[in-house]
Structure 1
């Protein structure tokens, strides 16, 4: 009996020793606090990078928070509440124009088109943009990229948003879809998955894509303060490499596989619907294929902002964009 107890004790000691050695040999992950402007399937590659362990492969642990609104997200970044912000590049222009002490740098692009769709109340087989004239249009918040890209597209098709339409812009972002479902408006500009949900429920019908019409834009990018890059450039490089791995994975795998990978971030949404949305964004290449924000996209962004009357002043590409990390992980 004593021999049995002694043997069990020795086995337990050996097992505990192995656990200690294993934990000592494992590299501790560095935490990076990330704030996303909203939770959206539009940001699928980010969630893939988390779920597929691409950040962990780089020695990083991402603490992801959703901070509603670009202004609040940038406030969190500037105050040190987060290390990295995922938000529209226009916010970096607004902040710089106001005279930020610590310059903001866009270092990795996640989406490269507008992510909204034009939804009509009735099904239209042969839609033309001319049909919008004289209708009530539920638009997005003034000064945000969805609104600016939306107006850019309307003007491209010869429609003056403020004279040819009954344009409604005084409804909070979170309430726009509810307002349309309740009977307000003939057309509405919506993000996914709401647009597809409305289509499935017969509330509305997708008739056009603002993303396809507005061209390539640095619609959503990862940005951080210049001081963070200076103090922790290695972390920024690792972060960018993880995003590039996720971008490659998204385009190399089916919409269904991507949907299954990111479903933990959208527990209330059926995986089939997530797949439909992912496929739509892949087809129009809304997900950036690499993290490089190029100068042509930057200029297109400023043209869109200028057309909407929201550009404080034109900002030099090299002042607010740092592609060195993206270029390095591309090699």
Structure 2
């Protein structure tokens, strides 16, 4: 009898534990997803990871309800983020100066750009960078196109004061070149492809960022405001995990990624295919290695030096003040 009572008690306890686990799991499964808005740029680099995370359910796996919001450039994303309209964003090289100024934190890099070009029209009668002196050049100040122009001019002993720079957004830059209202432009893909397609032999690539790799490293990155990160660490961690999964997927499924990007942006697949070669695309293991062996610090130091040389920023800043290397290692990469 005693044995039966004991077995009955054990069965009751076991049943209770199973039911408790079931109820607990159900509560967790039923937890409402956290809603966030994520900014992206409408090119392969600025779209691919976010589009994959949305398409393949990586955000959903991290219990995130994500709305993707398209922007034309990084500075406008940062403005929107500071206003609380979006919580995370992808930025190209130029907007990193705003991170150095403390407005946003860099979570991790997405890739290293190879897409920036200075394109000149045949009507300008320009054969080299030196010939740009006195010419009218369209670019967007504060972007990677602007930085490339500054580097190229400096290398031949010129400054921005030696040329006539017109500051405009990327769509205006393309239009100005097509209408021949400028002599040259300094811009990045996919707009470089658009100009080349529309004007053909009437334009020439005068210089590319690949001509200046001795001093130019253009990381693109995922960002968040310091305030949002401090108040929402769990969401930041889950967002990071989703994007890193997407970056892994991108590395192993490039052709499908092209289709996903084209679908989201309503862009012809053949145009997106061209953008596959515009950067060194990183995956999760690349980020982990770069953050643990110090490589990422060198990338962002080289980038910061570009901003110092072009006087976008006035003094150096400790990389760890804005690049979340320790945070990512401790909270995401080594988990």
Task: Please indicate the TM-score interval, normalised by the length of the shorter structure.
Answer: 0.7 to 0.9
Moved more, 269-278 or 111-120: 111-120
Gaps of 5+ in 2: 1-25
* Residue matched to 1:184: 181
Which sections of structure 1, spanning at least 5 residues, go unmatched? 1-21, 97-102
**What residue number does 1:41 align with?**
44
Looking at structure 2, the residues matched to 212 and 51 of structure 1 have their Cα atoms a distance apart, in angstroms, of 36
Find the counterpart in structure 1 of residue 9 from structure 2. Answer: none
**SS of equivalent residue, structure 1 residue 120:** strand
1:180 offset after TM fit, Å? 0.7
- Residue 107 in structure 1 maps to residue 107 in structure 2: yes
Match of 1:275 among 273, 276, 279: 273
2:10 aligned residue: none
1:120–1:204 CA contact under 8 A, matched in 2: yes
* Superposed CA offset, 1:227-254 (max 9, x none): 3223322221221122222222222233
Q: Superposed, which structure 2 residues align to 1:252-291 within 5 Å?
A: 252-254=252-254, 256-267=255-266, 269-278=267-276, 280-282=277-279, 285=280, 287-289=281-283, 290-291=286-287
257-266 or 107-116, which deviates more: 107-116
Q: Between Structure 1 and Structure 2, which shows a larger proportion of helix residues?
A: 2
Q: CA separation of 1:172/1:228 partners in 2, compared to 1, >3 Å: closer, same or farther?
A: closer
In structure 2, the residue matched to 1:247 is: 247
Instruction: Check 1:246–1:212 CA distance in 2 against 1; reply closer, same or farther (3 A cut).
Output: farther
Report the TM-score, using the length of structure 2 for normalisation. 0.74
Equivalent position of 1:300 in the other structure:
302
Instruction: State the SS of the aligned residue for 1:311.
Output: coil
Instruction: Report whether the alignment pairs 1:89 with 2:88.
Output: no
> Over aligned residues, Cα RMSD in angstroms?
3.2
| Counterpart residue number, 2:66 | 62
Decide whether aligned partners of structure 1 residues 104 and 187 sit closer, same or farther in structure 2, where only a CA change above 3 A counts: closer
Deviation at 1:138, TM superposition (A): 2.0
Q: Number of aligned pairs?
A: 291
CA, structure 1 residues 25+234, in 2 after alignment: closer, same or farther (shift >3 Å)? closer
Instruction: Mark the CA change 1:137 to 1:242 in structure 2 (over 3 Å): closer, same or farther.
Output: farther
Larger radius of gyration: 2
Distance in 2, Cα, partners of 1:176 & 1:93: 27
Q: Structure 2: how far apart are the matches of 1:314 and 1:89?
A: 13
Whether contact under 8 Å (1:67, 1:73) holds in the other structure is yes
* Post-superposition offset of 1:69: 4.8
Q: Which deviates the most, 44-53 or 304-313?
A: 44-53
CA spacing shift, 1:225–1:194, aligned 2, 3 Å: closer
Relative to structure 1, the CA distance from residue 74 to residue 25 in structure 2 (aligned partners, 3 Å threshold; closer, same or farther) is: closer
Tell me what 2:20 maps to: none
Question: Any conservation in 1 of the 2:111–2:282 contact (CA below 8 Å)?
Answer: yes
Q: CA deviation at 1:183?
A: 1.3
Which piece of structure 1 moves more, 55-64 or 202-211? 202-211
The match for 1:11 is none
Q: TM-score, normalised by structure 1?
A: 0.75
Tell me how far 1:128 sits from its aligned partner.
7.9
